[in-house]
Amino acid sequence: MRFDILTCVPELLQGPFAHSIVGRAQEKGKAEIVVHNLRDYAEGRHRPVDDYAFGGGAGMVLMIEPIARCIEHLQTQRKYDEVIYLSPDGLTFHQGMANQLSLQKNFILLCGHYKGVDERVRTHFVSLEISIGDYVLSGGELAAAVVVDALVRLLPGVLSDETSALTDSFQDNLLAPPVYTRPAEWRGLKVPDVLLSGDHSRIEAWREVQAWERTQHRRPDLLKGLDT
């Protein structure tokens, strides 16, 4: 799976992809992540990528020309399944969307900044807009890192235990059940006996009940439309 990330602040993305699961996925050749500095596609002495908005108003807008040059250059090299714009008014990102996108291969992720991008970028190039929540960030870089991380961990061979992702929160619209590790007792707090029983059918039944109860208590909205 390949991600080409377009940004005017590439320094913001130096850390998130170098370590842990995403870092190992790149080492294994499961994922390729390339960050492109939009200033490399700008013209002029100062290589500007933003300008004032027509009609006035506070804040700067990312210009269409550097973005268009970058996207069109990349599209001459390979076919992209999606050109994604990270935007507060995009579709809210969720696990089901991550599952679907993980079946595709090549993505361009465009990170907005300042007051966003020229609207013509969105209408001419973008195929999918994603929001990671109802709040505003300084730019789309952190949102892009979230999306990449969520997709990469679903790729076959990335996690050491490939069943791990199937028991994460939000799979099947449920939160994950409680988990415990050693010691079995700490300051009088004991691990539930069923988890120490060795009876895998009882353990799975307990986990299912716990997942439902936790979801009902903390995120009842996830259970709407599900059979109870």
CATH number at residue 51: 3.40.1280.10
Q: Are residues 142 and 179 in the same domain?
A: no
Q: Are residues 104 and 39 in the same domain?
A: yes
Is cis: bond before 183, omega within 30 of 0?
A: yes
Name the domain boundary from 126, 152, 178: 152
> Percent of the chain beyond pLDDT 90?
86
If 0-12 CB within 10 Å is exposed, 13-18 middle and 19+ buried, where does residue 158 land? buried
Quick check: 139 and 36 in contact, CB under 8 A?
A: no
CA distance 7 to 134: 21
In terms of pLDDT, which residue wins out, 169 or 186? 186
CA distance 27 to 158: 10
Average model confidence (pLDDT) across the chain:
93
Name the domain boundary from 96, 119, 152: 152
Domain count, the chain: 2
Q: Are residues 175 and 128 in the same domain?
A: no
Average pLDDT over residues 172-191: 93
pLDDT digits (tens, 9 = 90+) for 46-102: 999 999 999 998 899 999 999 999 999 999 999 999 999 999 999 999 999 999 999
Q: For residue 204, give the 3-state DSSP assignment.
A: helix
pLDDT band at 228 (very low <50, low <70, confident <90, very high): very low
Q: What is the pTM of this model?
A: 0.89
Residue 25, pLDDT above cutoff 70 = yes
User: How crowded is residue 54: how many other Cβ atoms within 10 Å of its Cβ?
Assistant: 8
Strand segments, DSSP code E, in the chain are 2-7, 32-37, 50-52, 60-62, 82-92, 106-111, 128-131, 185-186, 189-190
Predicted local distance difference test score (pLDDT) of residue 224:
86
Range of the domain at 202: 169-223
Q: Is residue 158 part of a domain?
A: no
Q: How many degrees, rounded to 5, is the angle at CA 127 between CA 40 and CA 113?
A: 45
pLDDT band at 163 (very low <50, low <70, confident <90, very high): low
